[in-house]
Amino acid sequence: MTSTPTALSIAQDLLRCPSVTPADAGALDVLETLLKGAGFTVHRVTFSEPGTADIDNLYARIGNTSPHLCFAGHTDVVPPGDASAWTHGAFAGDVADGLLYGRGAVDMKGGIACAVAATLDYLAANGGQPKGSISFLITGDEEDVAVNGTVKLLQWAAERGEQFDHCIVGEPSNVETIGDTIKIGRRGSQSGVLIVDGVQGHVAYPHRAANPVPDIAKLITALNDEPLDHGSAQFQPSNLEFTSVDVGNPATNVIPAQARAKFNIRFNDHHTQETLKALVEHRLVAACGNRIRAHIEWLPSNADVFVTKPGAFTDLVGAAIAEVTRRTPELNTGGGTSDARFIAKYCQVVEFGLVGQTMHQIDERTPVSDLDKLTAIYRGVLERYFK
């Protein structure tokens, strides 16, 4: 009987491909070879967009029926930074003192390696076929502009009639120890610019001018006065943060014609982008009264709030985690955005991977024992999912 490759050996093969976005450097070939060997139908799909680099993506599936569990992730990585500062080469895949070093070790070639190792092992132990379908949705475009990656790959899959029931994104969700955190959602993000129009004039004749500077200060205070909400069952309160005030006035003796202030809102599931904008504009109108002339220019956003409510799927993943780690993971919705927000439009999705502490840092690394644990957890998920 031939044994299936370990997560460590797969992770090392992936780490040795310097796939800094938009380069692939052979990373998807590593996955294609392994998945084809296990009976997956593998598609390589290249997406283009004027002004951006073409990006290679991979979609692989085994089985034709439901339930359909998808593992999603990205093989691209951020640049290593100062290469000489690394203890072990950023693309060497070295193991030292039980630690696997390399750019992407935790974010997220290590996570993908565990999902592949668990799947190959599961298939080998179950006659080579799942009682349903397993797929891998892997992009090479997550860390940079992310326009030729998951969004387009999901559309491509939907056009082919692919339907996912559940998805696990192997991003490094854990904060300190493997098993401490499953991400079940993320807040949305919406940016805007508050613009106050005044009337330009000489500072010595203020009655002939209208100064937008004190007015924008007043409006900033007013928009921060009342919380947007008090949080929800799964989310912390939404927050609106002003990030700059811009008048651009080089003179001290001229009242400027306009003042602008940039802000960003991180919002929870009390809001949609539309209701959130309406709420902020309503408060702005109230704060302006009849005197102040102000409006908001909203910037485009593709970061909507999403949440997979605790239920059968989160319980199943939690049980697999508890079996391996003896921990009950926290179901968390904190932190920034990820590709899971796009997947959430198609199926229930959670993020669970390695420990995120060293992601994007010099000497990014993971204990090899964490690779073994994560592989065992994914293996337990597959066992329960296709029971």
Q: Whole-number minimum distance, CB 309 to Zn ion, in Å?
A: 24
For Zn ion, which is the closer residue by CB, 60 or 72?
72
Scanning 101-109, 153-161, 268-276, 320-328 for contacts with Zn ion by CB under 5 A, the matching segment is: 101-109
Residue 282 labelled as part of a binding site: no
Number of residues that bind Zn ion (CB under 5 A): 3
Q: Positive or negative, the Cα torsion across 164, 170, 174, 179?
A: positive
DSSP result, 35-102: HHHTT-EEEEEEE--TTS--EEEEEEEE-SSSSEEEEEEE--B---SSGGG-SS-TTT--EETTEEES
**C-alpha separations of 176 from 172, 215, 271, 355, 378 in Å:** 10, 45, 31, 6, 19
Scanning 86-94, 100-108, 231-239, 347-355 for contacts with Zn ion by CB under 5 A, the matching segment is: 100-108
**C-alpha separations of 92 from 85, 95, 145 in Å:** 14, 9, 26
Q: Which of 11, 30, 31, 108 binds Zn ion (CB under 5 A)?
A: 108
Residue 32 labelled as part of a binding site: no
For Zn ion, which is the closer residue by CB, 183 or 266?
183
Question: What element of type H or E holds 265?
Answer: strand 258-267
Q: Whole-number minimum distance, CB 172 to Zn ion, in Å?
A: 7
Known catalytic membership, residue 76: yes
Scanning 94-102, 104-112, 241-249, 378-386 for contacts with Zn ion by CB under 5 A, the matching segment is: 104-112
Q: How far apart (Å, rounded) are the C-alpha atoms in residues 366 and 93?
A: 11
Q: How far apart (Å, rounded) are the C-alpha atoms in residues 204 and 252?
A: 11
Q: Whole-number minimum distance, CB 167 to Zn ion, in Å?
A: 15
Q: Is 13 in the site for Zn ion (CB under 5 A)?
A: no
Site for Zn ion in 152-171 (CB under 5 A): 171
The closest alpha carbon to 59, from 336, 313, 304, 343, belongs to 343
Known catalytic membership, residue 246: no
Site for Zn ion in 228-247 (CB under 5 A): none
Q: Which of 107, 121, 141, 370 binds Zn ion (CB under 5 A)?
A: 107
Site for Zn ion in 176-215 (CB under 5 A): none
Residue 88 labelled as part of a binding site: no
Question: What element of type H or E holds 293?
Answer: strand 293-298
Q: Whole-number minimum distance, CB 107 to Zn ion, in Å?
A: 4
Scanning 60-68, 103-111, 162-170, 271-279 for contacts with Zn ion by CB under 5 A, the matching segment is: 103-111
Q: Whole-number minimum distance, CB 137 to Zn ion, in Å?
A: 14
List Cβ neighbours of 114 (8 Å cut-off, separation of 6 or more).
Answer: 7, 11, 170, 353, 354, 371, 374, 375, 377, 378
Residue 241 in contact with residue 264, Cβ under 8 Å?
Answer: yes
For Zn ion, which is the closer residue by CB, 24 or 171?
171
Residue 370 labelled as part of a binding site: no
Structure tokens at 278: 């309406």
For Zn ion, which is the closer residue by CB, 63 or 104?
104
For Zn ion, which is the closer residue by CB, 15 or 62?
15
x/- contact string, 303-332, with Zn ion (CB under 5 A)?
A: ------------------------------
In the bound state, the residue with its beta carbon closest to Zn ion is: 107
Q: How far apart (Å, rounded) are the C-alpha atoms in residues 337 and 130?
A: 32
Of the residues 32, 121, 142, 364, only one is catalytic, namely 142
Give SS3 for 284: helix
Q: Whole-number minimum distance, CB 366 to Zn ion, in Å?
A: 13
DSSP-assigned beta bridge partners for residue 266: 189, 239
For Zn ion, which is the closer residue by CB, 171 or 370?
171
Tokens 């004039």 locate to 201
For Zn ion, which is the closer residue by CB, 281 or 363?
363
Q: Whole-number minimum distance, CB 274 to Zn ion, in Å?
A: 29
Q: How far apart (Å, rounded) are the C-alpha atoms in residues 181 and 349?
A: 14
Of the residues 56, 76, 339, 351, only one is catalytic, namely 76
Q: How far apart (Å, rounded) are the C-alpha atoms in residues 182 and 238?
A: 20
Residue 49 labelled as part of a binding site: no
DSSP result, 150-176: HHHHHHHHHHTT---SEEEE-S--BSS
**Residue 189 DSSP symbol:** E
Which residues are part of the catalytic machinery? 76, 142
Please report, in range form, the residues annotated as the binding site for Zn(2+). Answer: 74, 107, 143, 171, 360
What are the residues binding Zn ion (CB under 5 A)? 107-108, 171
